[in-house]
Structure 1
Amino acid sequence: MGRKKSSRKRPATQPTTFVIDENDNIGTGDADNDFAYLDNSFVNERNLDLLVDTENVQHIILGRTGSGKTALIKKLSSGNVNYILLDPASLSLNYIYKSTIIQYFDEIEAPVKQLFEFLWIHIFTVEILRHHLSISDKSGGFLTLSRFLARFRSNSSYSRAKNYVDQFGDKFWQEVDENVQELISRVDARAEAKFGINKDFLNLRASGGANTSEQERRELNRKATELISGQQFAELDHLRKIIREEFSQKMQKKFFILIDRLDENWVDDKLRYILLRSLIEAARKFVHIPNLKICIAIRSDLYRKMNEETNDLYSQADKEKQYVINIRWTEELLEDLIDARIKSRFREKYRNKKVSLRDLLPSHTIDGEDSFSFIVNRTFGRPRDLVNVINLCLSLSRGKAVLTQEVIRKAVNENSYNSFKYLCDEWKSIYPNLKDYLELLKKKKDHLKFEDISNDQIDHFALNSATRDDKKKGPLHDSSVAHSEGKVPIYILKQKVLYHLYLVGVIGFKTDSFTAFRWVNTDREPALFEEFQSAEKLQIHKAVHLALGISP
């Protein structure tokens, strides 16, 4: 898939003194279950160094499923005892959707991003101070906070920061989920006092007994940002400035807030993307505090979907480039990773023997490719992919000392079906109908052009896409509807469909005969649609060839 053949040579042949047995594997590729391998087989040191460096502003970890985001978070936490791991599922953020005012503002589409941003900043501030000052109980917590603030009496932010602590300081000892509920309850109370909105009002509306005029809707939209007063925002900001001064001291240890698992069911889908956008913008406000870093791991597809849903696809993505670490794996790094796991596994079995990846691989090429390159080029080039294939090879090689060409072919063929299934699962939040896209490629040649996808196929795709219900709408629903109404030419819709297959990694393209194929997994940034439209040739990724019945 456009990768260079490995230049590494097989080590000199040594006597066969080991054998593969039924228990041999190199882990799961899942950082949650790979504790031993995480310690002795971690190779992504460059990205880890960027995260650990609190003077480096890069703190958003982007990568596909199985690319090593969680491994980075776990490796960082294992080397730094001064950290907080914020599990989104434990924050009680679904409590937000039970809020009277949030339900109402969602109904009238009022802006609530400012409220959510304030919520995240409040969470970060409380957690930083609670852990930094070892606040664990109500009786001593407020006194500890007061003594801490007293050290900054000469700071211009002191009085306003103290006002905020006077309002919320008696709750700082609580766990983070309790603080979330406390803050939302206060917002509800403020909404009832300011707007007269309570559960009785919502029940009346639900029964048809109250309506909101367009003029009232505009007025409530305007007032939505007043739920959190400008004064509270300012006071919280001054408390953040006090934290900055505290963490600027020379002897201050590094402190990390780590956030992972944002792709799991931690909040109602109606709030997920606006909460994610608010989280990222809130974390950015802490970027320039010395010795402190808020690290956020997020799937690339979820990040893109968030930007689409919050209308920030290009504006925010461009601004945030400087804060992002894109996890990308070269073939060399992948070989280092698998080699380290092989050595670790066989070191446990044969204390005095060294067994490397190249000891197991056949010395000859497979279809003209280096044996490891052959494997890599038939996966999507992520650690989990390679771990799965090598484990399949080991399971098919019991009683042997090497992985034969036949075994490797069987393993990559079986993995092709797995890749198809994992691909649909990985992208289901954005492409609930991804199988319809992939269906267009079945039984095609691995190299093709736009015209190799027939107009009848696109018409059929458009009909299916346009008639799906709301929960299964994909990104091309509107274009499909427009095509059925004669507003989008069929060749444009065809290009859009294939472009989205490029975005999920299934198709590569080249715009002339002199350059290599471009793949989203190896591009520094995804190509724009306008670039893709100039493609002369397309190529279907070998990882899904067998599953799609692709012929060379």
Structure 2
Amino acid sequence: MASQTNRKEHIIFKKGFRIGEPEAEADGLFLRTCFVNNGIIEVATATDSRQCILLGRTGSGKSAIIQHLIENHKNVIVINPERLALSNISNSSVLNFFETAGVHMDSFYKLLWKHIFTIELIVNKYNIRNTSEIPRLSQILSGIFKPNRDKATAFDYIKQWGDSFWIDEEHRTTELTRTLEKRLEGNVGADIYKKAKLGVSGLQDLTEQQKQDIVQHGQTAIVDKKQMSSLENVTEILSKNVFNDQNSPWYLCIDSLDDDWADDKIRFKLIKALLETIKSFRCMENVKVIVTMRVDLIESLFERISSPGFQTEKFSGYLLPIKWTRAELTDLLSKRVNYLFEYKYTNQDIKLSEIIEKKMNGKQSGIDYILDRTFLRPREAISFFNTCIDIAEGHPFISAEYIKKAEYNYSNERVKAVCEEWSRQYPYLKYFLDVVRNMRDGVEVAHLMNDRFKEYCERFSDIAKKEQFPFSDEAANSYLDTNQYGLTFMQSILNVLYKVGVVGLKLSPNTQRVFSFSENMKIEKHHIEKTTKVYVHKAFWIALCIKSPDGL
């Protein structure tokens, strides 16, 4: 065992010791005490900065940042998409009927978000928590909105909603949806509306002329210029008269967009409308919308969107990528280790270097060894370190032996985690991993296209047909003629493995090895050639039985 000089002998890792939890929702105590600010907070909260979409992969700290804002800043409103009952929109037979007919719903979705933001600001500003507070709210808003005709029109927009609307988040979305359905009924007439209530099936017996009429009249109902104008007036008046203190900004935070709060069919359309609403809502200079999004979600969003006028590059200035350096993650682990022992039984400062191996195999430190097996994200560093503590139970020191033992569990968990993280986009990822399983790190693509790959192609083709995965034909063709078709299928496989971070690629002798999560370099399939070298990330070496390039 390596030298353990300067170790505090009274320190013992006991059963249940942890340096926090990988998920922010369960990490309250350590998150509050040991938060490491890597500069994101200042940018995210700056109302004069457009950057408001906290972009990162699972475990990068998005939810932790929102939690930190809630606990350390005033005027923070958290909007949970699931509590808004947005699934009611996808479940509406009437709206499905009109959208399938060809009516564009984008204007309604944007109105919905702006409506939600505005009402949330009013409710939280004046602390409306039950219906008994409604008369007080009406009196306050009356004084703000009534002095002239424009303000009176804006006040009419607010007055039209019932008392429960101000208390129940779900009711707000439902009420706005019902209002739209009534307008649609008025525009198309009773006979067509009866068919609309049947949903998509109601379109089956309609003539092309009837469908065109439905689109024309339906679109008029969707784009209600009077309603939009009134809501614009409301936000303008609130900006000038209520939310006008530069020293007291307000934040609308939206987390959990990655969850299943609505069917994918409608979810991506609502997220697209959210992004567009964020741009227009910047008219309220002292209010900032902050959204967390996973990288795979926004990539899927941009791939699916094809509507006119929506240019993905226009949103690049709103993105705030979350990146961590090794020094920042070391600081994070150090603070948590020190707090663990301070919290458990000692007031002494415990340095990270005092309780973990300084040299692994006579080379790098134990901390560097751990960080090499992460995507440089807090969740992975915390998870690996907790596993090390479990292995070191009853001992005062995390030795190289314990780190190596912990790596077995950690590596297998990382394989499960990456497959779960990308399950929506790549449900076949676990099968693609078999292509690099047991390989020697750093081999050329040509080396992978062997008899084993030919057998794999036959096996995957059968699985893809059964599970209705893509690439079934590519796999079948590769099996029949690997020389002619094998590279095409291999390019598809490695392109996916690169995107999710499992492999890094060295495209040519003159280029560096790159991993997608660290370099943010987009590599297309056609960039990958037979001479491209493939490197599996060290987080997966144990689980995938990867052989070291030097044979050790």
Q: What TM-score range do you get, normalising by the shorter chain?
A: 0.7 to 0.9
1:463 maps to 461
Residues 245 and 497 of structure 1: is their aligned pair in 2 closer, same or farther, counting only changes over 3 Å? same
Bigger shift: residues 243-252 or 56-65:
243-252
Q: CA deviation digits over 1:267-287, x for unaligned, max 9?
A: 123211111111121122223
Partners of 1:385 and 1:50 lie apart in 2 by 24
Residues 411 and 200 of structure 1: is their aligned pair in 2 closer, same or farther, counting only changes over 3 Å? same
- Counterparts of 1:121-520 in structure 2, within 5 Å, are 121-136=114-129, 137=131, 138-150=134-146, 153=148, 158=151, 160-168=153-161, 173-196=166-189, 200-202=194-196, 210-228=204-222, 229-246=224-241, 249-250=244-245, 253-311=248-306, 316-366=311-361, 368-454=363-449, 456=454, 459-460=457-458, 463-464=461-462, 467=465, 473=469, 490-520=486-516
Which residue identity is paired with 1:113? Answer: D
Which residue identity is paired with 2:172? Answer: N
Partners of 1:481 and 1:200 lie apart in 2 by 49
Which residue identity is paired with 1:339? Answer: S
Instruction: For residue 206 of structure 1, report the CA deviation from its aligned partner.
Output: 7.2
Instruction: For residue 482 of structure 1, report the CA deviation from its aligned partner.
Output: 10
State whether residues 141 and 172 of structure 1, in contact with CA within 8 Å, keep that contact through their aligned partners in structure 2: no
Partners of 1:482 and 1:271 lie apart in 2 by 36
Corresponding position: 1:540 with 2:536: yes
Partners of 2:319 and 2:504 lie apart in 1 by 24
Give the match's secondary structure for 1:516: coil
Bigger shift: residues 177-186 or 367-376:
367-376
2:53 maps to 60
Partners of 1:485 and 1:240 lie apart in 2 by 63
Partner residue of 1:47 out of 28, 31, 40: 40
Partners of 1:377 and 1:491 lie apart in 2 by 30
Instruction: For residue 299 of structure 1, report the CA deviation from its aligned partner.
Output: 1.4
Instruction: For residue 238 of structure 1, report the CA deviation from its aligned partner.
Output: 2.3
Instruction: For residue 170 of structure 1, report the CA deviation from its aligned partner.
Output: 6.3
Give the match's secondary structure for 1:61: strand
Bigger shift: residues 476-485 or 530-539:
476-485
| Runs of at least 5 residues in structure 1 that lack an aligned partner in the other structure | 1-9
State whether residues 110 and 273 of structure 2, in contact with CA within 8 Å, keep that contact through their aligned partners in structure 1: yes
Partners of 1:227 and 1:199 lie apart in 2 by 13
TM-score w.r.t. the length of structure 1 is 0.88
Q: CA deviation digits over 1:190-219, x for unaligned, max 9?
A: 111212477742466777895233444444
CA RMSD of superposed structures (Å): 3.2
State whether residues 77 and 83 of structure 1, in contact with CA within 8 Å, keep that contact through their aligned partners in structure 2: yes
Partners of 2:203 and 2:382 lie apart in 1 by 60
Partners of 1:423 and 1:313 lie apart in 2 by 34
- Counterparts of 1:2-151 in structure 2, within 5 Å, are 13-108=6-101, 110-136=103-129, 137=131, 138-150=134-146
Give the match's secondary structure for 1:173: helix
Bigger shift: residues 39-48 or 525-534:
525-534
Residues 251 and 429 of structure 1: is their aligned pair in 2 closer, same or farther, counting only changes over 3 Å? closer
Q: CA deviation digits over 1:316-372, x for unaligned, max 9?
A: 432211111111122111111111100100112343322122111112233633321
| Higher-helix-fraction structure | 2
Which residue identity is paired with 1:240? Answer: T
Partners of 2:422 and 2:55 lie apart in 1 by 15
Residues 453 and 227 of structure 1: is their aligned pair in 2 closer, same or farther, counting only changes over 3 Å? farther
Give the match's secondary structure for 2:438: coil
Instruction: For residue 310 of structure 1, report the CA deviation from its aligned partner.
Output: 2.1
Which residue identity is paired with 2:537? Answer: H
Residues 88 and 502 of structure 1: is their aligned pair in 2 closer, same or farther, counting only changes over 3 Å? same
Residues 499 and 204 of structure 1: is their aligned pair in 2 closer, same or farther, counting only changes over 3 Å? closer
State whether residues 89 and 266 of structure 1, in contact with CA within 8 Å, keep that contact through their aligned partners in structure 2: yes
Partners of 1:38 and 1:48 lie apart in 2 by 14
State whether residues 361 and 372 of structure 1, in contact with CA within 8 Å, keep that contact through their aligned partners in structure 2: yes
Partners of 2:60 and 2:219 lie apart in 1 by 39
Instruction: For residue 133 of structure 1, report the CA deviation from its aligned partner.
Output: 3.4
Instruction: For residue 159 of structure 1, report the CA deviation from its aligned partner.
Output: 5.3
Partners of 2:203 and 2:371 lie apart in 1 by 63
State whether residues 27 and 34 of structure 1, in contact with CA within 8 Å, keep that contact through their aligned partners in structure 2: yes
State whether residues 254 and 292 of structure 2, in contact with CA within 8 Å, keep that contact through their aligned partners in structure 1: yes
Partners of 2:153 and 2:472 lie apart in 1 by 50
Instruction: For residue 527 of structure 1, report the CA deviation from its aligned partner.
Output: 3.8
Partners of 1:113 and 1:411 lie apart in 2 by 50
Q: CA deviation digits over 1:106-147, x for unaligned, max 9?
A: 443542222111111111111112222344534343333222
Which residue identity is paired with 1:146? Answer: S
Bigger shift: residues 308-317 or 32-41:
308-317
Which residue identity is paired with 1:143? Answer: Q
1:5 maps to none
Which residue identity is paired with 1:545? Answer: W
Q: CA deviation digits over 1:259-314, x for unaligned, max 9?
A: 11112221123211111111121122223422211111111111211222223899
Partners of 2:226 and 2:203 lie apart in 1 by 36
Residues 270 and 36 of structure 1: is their aligned pair in 2 closer, same or farther, counting only changes over 3 Å? same
Give the match's secondary structure for 2:290: strand
Q: Percent same amino acid at aligned positions?
A: 26
| Runs of at least 5 residues in structure 2 that lack an aligned partner in the other structure | none
Residues 466 and 217 of structure 1: is their aligned pair in 2 closer, same or farther, counting only changes over 3 Å? farther
Residues 399 and 11 of structure 1: is their aligned pair in 2 closer, same or farther, counting only changes over 3 Å? closer
Q: CA deviation digits over 1:140-166, x for unaligned, max 9?
A: 433332222136x49xx5355345335
